[in-house]
Chains A and B, each alone.
Chain A
Amino acid sequence: ILDDPDLKDIDPTVLKHCHAAAATCILEAGKQKADISAISTCLEDCKLDKERIEQFCTEYQKNKDALEILLGSIGRSPLHITDVSWRLEYQIKSNQLHKTYQPSYLVTLNVENSGSGSHPDVSFSCTMEQLQDLVGKLKDAAKSLERATQM
């Protein structure tokens, strides 16, 4: 904002204050999920004229959804699973044991940290029975979710 040619005639301190005020107002409105009438009333109390209030509200309405998504994503949460990859292998032998002949799965869960971005993925091996157990439990969770949304 400080580099904008249209604003170069204004005292930078005033500009900063305006920016901070506008940002605070927008963030509070977003946080409280305020509707347009609440925002207008608030701005009226601040003695803004009708035209400015209308402009502000229109712009706010345009960006409201993006703002809510952004605010909603701030905050701590456990590692978030984003994707899964798997590998099926058939073990034949190891140097300690020959003729093993067992299928085995290698599953990797791609995870993301809420703030700092990357985190090493969670990998583990499992047998077919264990994978069936895992999938069974996940399906239970999904069924519960479905029931909860129907309540």
Chain B
Amino acid sequence: KLNVGVDAIQHGVEGLTYLLTESSKLMISEIDFQDSIHVLGFSDELNKLLLQLYLDNRKEIRSILAELAPKLPSYHSLEWRLDVQLASRSLRQQIKPAVTIKLHLNQNEEQTAQVLQTDPSTLLHLIQQLEQALGEMKTNHCRRIVRNMK
């Protein structure tokens, strides 16, 4: 339809892909983008089109690239249940409270679920530790780093 050779089209697509992914990866500004493609000697109209293409697709390209980074299983959700063990084969007349947890994780597109259990005092300990973790982002130290690393 375009009346151009297959090779030319392939090169065109590859070039365009490279241009967009590299620009998105480095998150370059509009001005830098314009300067970079200026050397290619295209018409002004084409340059404007390319810039628009970059800005429109930048976010999506970046989120796809983010998937490629090495990662660990990530948290998906958590279900919990309260149980009280009343007896077992080796001991009758018990009152043993426990919290049963189903932890849903995502790993490489697959969802896994793991069943875990804990006792009330450990549960409180977990909550305390993780609340401390959450509080860290609000400390001056972290705030300073976030501010200075933009």
Asked whether A and B interact, the reply is: yes
Q: How far is the CA of A133 from the CA of B82 in the complex (A)?
A: 19
Q: Say yes or no: is B1 at the interface (Cβ < 8 Å to chain A).
A: no
The majority secondary structure among interface residues of chain B is: mixed
List, in ascending order, chain B residues with CB within 8 A of A84's CB: 125-126, 129-130
Which of A12-20, A40-48, A57-65, A94-102 contacts its partner? A94-102
Residue in chain A with minimal CB distance to B21: A96
Cβ A88 vs Cβ B142 within 8 A? yes
Flag if B126 contacts A132 (CB, 8 Å). Answer: no
A residues 70-110 near B (Cβ < 8 Å) are: 71-72, 74-75, 77-86, 88, 90, 92, 94-101, 103, 105-107, 109
For B26, list chain A residues within 8 Å (CB). 98-99
Q: With A and B bound together, what is the CA distance between A109 and B101 in angstroms?
A: 12
B120 within 8 A of A: yes
**Given A101-B150, A124-B105, are A79 and B94 also a contact pair (CB < 8 Å)?**
no
Question: How many chain A residues have a CB neighbour from B under 8 Å?
Answer: 58
Which of A's residues lie within 8 Å of B, judged by CB? 30-33, 68, 71-72, 74-75, 77-86, 88, 90, 92, 94-101, 103, 105-107, 109, 111, 122-126, 128, 130-135, 137-142, 144-145, 148-149
Add 9 more A-B contacts to A141-B80, A141-B99 (CB < 8 A): A72-B96, A79-B114, A79-B117, A90-B142, A97-B68, A124-B103, A137-B79, A139-B127, A142-B127
